[in-house]
Amino acid sequence: MLTIRPAETDEDLEAWRRVRLAVLPYERCSTVAEIRRSVRPGQLLLLAELDGVLAGHGITAPSDIAGRASIAPRVLPGFRRRGVGTALLRALAGHAYAELGFRQVRALVDDPESMGFATRFGFAEIDRQVEQVRAIGTEPRPQAPAGVEIVSIAQRPDLWPRAYADVAAAAVHDMALEGDFQVTLEQWEADWINAPQASFVALTREPDELVVGLASLLLDKDVPDRAEHGFTAVRRDHRGRGIASALKRQTLWWAAEHGITEVYTWTQRGNEDMRRLNEHLGFGYRTISVTAERELPIV
C-alpha cells in the first residue's frame, strides 16, 4: 500500500534527506538543522512509503521566482514506475494550488527519463542551467586588485546583510532567469550561506567602506571533500576590474587549504559572463538541469 505523509520529525527529515542524496548524489543536501532554519511559509515536505518502506519524497514551496511554486517529486530508483511519482506530484501540486494559491508551478529535471515523466504531466521546458565543476589542486593565494580588500564573513559578520543590500539584491536581476527573482534578507541569511569562514566579500575603503562583491562556498557535511559555489556577484559599477575572478580564486584557495577536492556551481543559460569566468578558472561541464513549468491545477 502507498502512503504519502508530511515529513515532520527529525527522523522523518533524515529519511527525506536519504531520498534526496540517493536521487541527486552529485548535489549537496541541507542538514536537518538547515532544513528547519530555511522553512518558508506554506512549504510542504512529504514522504512516500510503499508497504511501510521509504520509496520517495517531495517538496513544494513558494519559488524564488515571483508567482510560482517550486515542486519536486523524487522516487528512489528501485521504486520507479509504480505510481509513486504520480501520487507525490498530485499531492504537491494540490497543496501549491489549493493551500498556497499558486497558478503556476516549476520543477528542475536533470535526466531524460524524468523529463519523460514531466512531459507526461504537461510540463514544458522554459530554461536550463549547467553545472560547472572544478577539481581542486594546489591553488595559489590570490591577489586582490589594487584598492580592493577581500575579507571573510567569519572576520566581519556584519558584512553579510550589507552584501545583500549593496550587491546581491541588484545582481540577482542580472542572472538571465526566466521570471522575476525575489530573495528577502531573511532567505538570504538562511539559505545563501552555511560557512562564514568560506564566504568572502570584496571591500573598497575610499571614500567610505563599500561592499563591492561576494563569493562563497557552501560546505557539504555528507561529502566534506566537495563544496558548492554560492552566489558570486560584483556591483555593476565595479565590474571588469578582476574582482569576481579574485573572489572566486579566494574560495578555490580556501578549498585547497581545507581538504576540498571538488567545487561545483550552477549557472543559468544566458549568463555567459559567469560561464566564461568559470571556464577561465578551469571549470568543466557536467550535468544539465532543465527548468520545466506548467499551469495549475493538475486534474
Q: Which residues bind ligand COA (CB under 6 A)?
A: 23, 72-75, 80-86, 107, 109-110, 113-114, 116-118, 120
212 versus 292: smaller Cβ distance to ligand COA:
292
84 versus 171: smaller Cβ distance to ligand COA:
84
In 3D space, the residue among 156, 192, 186 whose CA is nearest the CA of residue 171 turns out to be: 192
Q: CA distances (Å), 283 to each of 194, 229, 267, 278, 291, in order?
A: 23, 12, 12, 5, 22
Q: How far is the CB of 85 from ligand COA (least distance, A)?
A: 2
102 versus 283: smaller Cβ distance to ligand COA:
102
Handedness of CA 292, 167, 156, 253 (dihedral sign): positive
How many CB atoms are closer than 10 A to CB 220? 19
Handedness of CA 50, 56, 57, 58 (dihedral sign): negative
In 3D space, the residue among 269, 251, 268, 247 whose CA is nearest the CA of residue 260 turns out to be: 251
89 versus 195: smaller Cβ distance to ligand COA:
89
Q: How far is the CB of 170 from ligand COA (least distance, A)?
A: 31
How many CB atoms are closer than 10 A to CB 46? 21
107 versus 150: smaller Cβ distance to ligand COA:
107
Q: How far is the CB of 133 from ligand COA (least distance, A)?
A: 20
76 versus 260: smaller Cβ distance to ligand COA:
76
Say how far apart CA 245 and CA 263 lie, in whole Å: 15
Task: Give the SS3 label for residue 296.
Answer: coil
Q: How far is the CB of 230 from ligand COA (least distance, A)?
A: 23
| Bridging pattern class, strands 210-219 and 149-152 | unpaired
125 versus 186: smaller Cβ distance to ligand COA:
125
Instruction: Work out the angle at residue 180's Cα, subtended by the Cα atoms of residues 29 and 60, and round it to the nearest 5 degrees.
Output: 40
Say how far apart CA 269 and CA 275 lie, in whole Å: 9
Q: How far is the CB of 96 from ligand COA (least distance, A)?
A: 13
In 3D space, the residue among 91, 259, 261, 233 whose CA is nearest the CA of residue 174 turns out to be: 233
Q: How far is the CB of 84 from ligand COA (least distance, A)?
A: 4
Q: How far is the CB of 111 from ligand COA (least distance, A)?
A: 7
